[in-house]
Amino acid sequence: MPQKLHITIIQDNDTKNKAYIDLVKHYHDIKLVDVNSVSHDDIMRSAVIIVQVDLNDPNSISPLKDIMALPERCHIPTFFLLREFSRREVVQANTLGATDYIVYPCPNHIFIQTLEDLINKTVEKAWSKLTEVQEEALKVCLKVVEKTFHNASKGLEVSQKEVKDSCKLIVEATAKDGLNDWMDAIRQHHNSTYRHSMMVCGYLVSFGMLIGIKKTDLQTLAVGGMIHDIGKAAIPLEILEKPSELTCSERKIMEQHPVDSRIILANAKWDEMLIDIAVHHHENLDGSGYPDGLKGNQISDIVRAASIANVFTDLTDKRSYKPAMTAEKAIETMLAMGNQLDIDLIKAFRPVVLTGES
Ligand SMILES: [Fe+2]
Ligand SMILES: [Fe+2]
């Protein structure tokens, strides 16, 4: 079984056979919700949705229609459990927007295999949209990110050259074929640290392109994004991958990662600008950040840009303990953070993530 995902199961009162719930729970995190009380958050935090309602009952179909029509839902694979293989139920499921369906009850192994196929198909679909250049860049970068974090966690040297070379591929792929499909494929990656690092990298490259900086600077932004959280390689996995919110003491350990980044990168003699990004992307303009409590002009422009890409990626990424925010809401939240982030820079960043603005 590959990755552990957050799955929302939507049911109605009438549903009798629910044995599959324990089965799914064995592999994934689940949340059960009644079809009449599904919240926006329930949808936004789901990697997959399972629907088990009476498709002949208007009281269930009506709220389900609204849920299925949500724009955010359209990107989430939705698996319908039918009570019988009848034309009526199949047509109803398809009309509502089912990604796949199965007649339930069915043997456990068939149920779980169909569910996993659906999950894998979603990943494959995202990758299938990539051009050859984008696919090559993504494959190489994921390997390099994995190796870099692995080496850092084992106290081995992290190669600046290797990361720079892989980032050159991203810059070239983005210049040639754009970044949207590339980012969609990254969004499907199961490892949250790698996914986060690559997305910050992607947003920084897009941002750099939008404001028209030169190619070598784009590469610096890409490298900075990719390794900005390298210090997380030193954080215990039970904290780093905790499927719920961190306690106060765990948060303190987590906030050590910029200091660890400094040690890891300085030991390997990385460029100062890249160390600056990795060490200071959690500093705030009002001095409330960490680790050094820098203020205003003490924070460089490239670090300010990295902070914005970092916060935006955090807010819009879904985890089992928090839903993903929409891009609009994330920008609004960032603008309301007072004097922590560079407001002018957020406004300049906005067209990177909101279509129709430039
Ligand atoms: Fe960080
Ligand atoms: Fe980060």
CATH number at residue 320: 1.10.3210.10
Ligand 1 centre from 87 Cα, in Å? 51
Q: Quick one: 65 and 210 in the same domain? A: no
Residue-wise DSSP of 150-217: HHHHTTPPPPHHHHHHHHHHHHHHHHHH-SHHHHHHHHT-S-HHHHHHHHHHHHHHHHHHHTT--HHH
Do 156 and 169 belong together in one domain? yes
Beta sheet of 29-34, edge-to-edge order: 29-34, 6-11, 48-52, 78-82, 100-103
The verdict on residue 216 lying in a domain is yes
Q: Report yes or no on 305 lying in a domain.
A: yes
pLDDT digits (tens, 9 = 90+) for 214-228: 988 999 999 999 999
Ligand index nearest the alpha carbon of residue 278: 1
How deeply is 202 buried, as exposed, middle or buried, from its count of CB atoms within 10 A (0-12, 13-18, 19+)?
Answer: buried
Res 358: pLDDT: 46
Instruction: Give the Å distance between the CA of 38 and the centre of ligand 2.
Output: 30
Domain count, the chain: 2
| 1 is a domain residue | no
Looking at the fold, whether 282 and 158 belong to one and the same domain comes out as yes
Whether 206 is in a domain gets the answer yes
Q: How far is the CA of 223 from the centre of ligand 2 (A)?
A: 13
Q: Which residues pair with 32 in a beta bridge?
A: 9
How far does the centroid of ligand 1 lie from the alpha carbon of residue 8, in Å?
29
Separation of 278 CA from ligand 2 center, angstroms?
A: 9
62, two tokens: 């009506």
301, 311: one domain:
yes
Residues 196 and 211 in one domain: yes
Distance 197 CA to ligand 2 centre (A): 6
- Choose the final residue of a domain: 101, 127, 153: 127
- Cα distance between residue 95 and residue 186, in whole Å: 29
- What's the predicted TM-score (pTM) here? 0.79
The rounded Å distance from CA 256 to ligand 1 centre is 9
Q: What is the pLDDT of residue 138?
A: 92
| Domain-embedded: residue 84 | yes
Q: Are 143 and 271 in a shared domain?
A: yes
- In a domain, residue 181? The reply is yes
Q: Are residues 136 and 193 in the same domain?
A: yes
Whose atoms come closest to the Cα of 313: which ligand? Answer: 2
Specify whether 173 is located in the same domain as 297.
yes
Distance 281 CA to ligand 1 centre (A): 6
Q: Is 358 a domain residue?
A: no
Residue 134 Cα, ligand 1 centroid: separation in angstroms? 26
CA of 229 to the centre of ligand 2 (A): 5
Which ligand approaches the C-alpha of residue 197 most closely?
A: 2
Considering the domain architecture, whether residues 117 and 144 belong to the same structural domain is answered as: no
**Could you give the dihedral angle defined by the CA atoms of residues 16, 19, 20 and 21, in that order, rounded to the nearest 10 degrees?**
90
Instruction: Give the whole-angstrom CA distance, residue 168 versus residue 174.
Output: 10
Asked if 72 and 152 sit in the same domain, the reply is no
Same domain (yes/no): 11, 122: yes
Residue span of the structural domain in which 71 resides:
6-127
Distance 242 CA to ligand 1 centre (A): 16
| Of 127, 161, 188, the domain-final residue | 127
CA of 304 to the centre of ligand 1 (A): 13
**Distance in Å, CA 314 to ligand 1 centroid:** 10
Which stretches of the chain score pLDDT less than 50? 1, 358
Q: How far is the CA of 37 from the centre of ligand 2 (A)?
A: 33
The CATH number of the domain where 88 resides is what? 3.40.50.2300
Distance 196 CA to ligand 2 centre (A): 7
In 230-261, which positions are buried (b, 16+ CB within 10 angstroms) versus exposed (e)? bbbbbbeeeebebeeeeeeebeeebeebbebb
Q: Of the candidates 75, 106, 127, which is a domain's last residue?
A: 127
Q: Is residue 323 part of a domain?
A: yes
Q: Is residue 97 located within the same domain as residue 220? A: no
Could you read off the pLDDT of 72-111 as tens digits, one per residue? 888 889 999 999 888 899 999 999 999 999 999 999 988 9
Distance 245 CA to ligand 1 centre (A): 16
Place of tokens 């196929």: 117
